Amino acid sequence: MKILIFVLAIIVFMSTFAYADEVSYEKAFLSYKKGDYKTAISLLKQYVEKKPDPYAYYLIGYASYKLKKHKESVKYFNEAYVIDPNFSPQTVFVKGE
């Protein structure tokens, strides 16, 4: 019985972190859509430290591009493809909505 309670506690604990990550991504995406690119970049960089994600890297790249940081944007666009060679930028905005 103690093992069952322990396992359930771990599952709840882990799902809380997964939810927090998704909330973080959503906040970053909303900042991006509002044109608050600096906030979006900051939130997305925190997000990718925990969960490397091609969508997040692409958004960092695009937000950097919008801020005229072209060299930085290329770095993040490339990182999206390193993580997932089949990554498609067309799906970025579908994930965020």
Question: Which CATH number characterizes residue 90's domain?
Answer: 1.25.40.10
- The H or E element containing residue 51 is none
Counted domains in the chain: 1
Contacts of 40 (CB under 8 A, 6+ apart): 28, 29, 31, 32, 59, 60, 63
Distance CA 69, CA 82 (A): 20
**Residue 37 within a domain:** yes
**Residue 29 within a domain:** yes
**Residue 5 within a domain:** no
According to the model, what pLDDT value does residue 35 have?
96
Kindly state the tokens that stand for 60: 């960092």
Mean pLDDT value of segment 5-20:
49
Instruction: Print the domain residue range for 73.
Output: 24-96
pLDDT band of 94, cuts 50, 70, 90: low
Contact indicator for 29, 40 with CB cutoff of 8 Å: yes
Mean pLDDT value of segment 18-42:
83
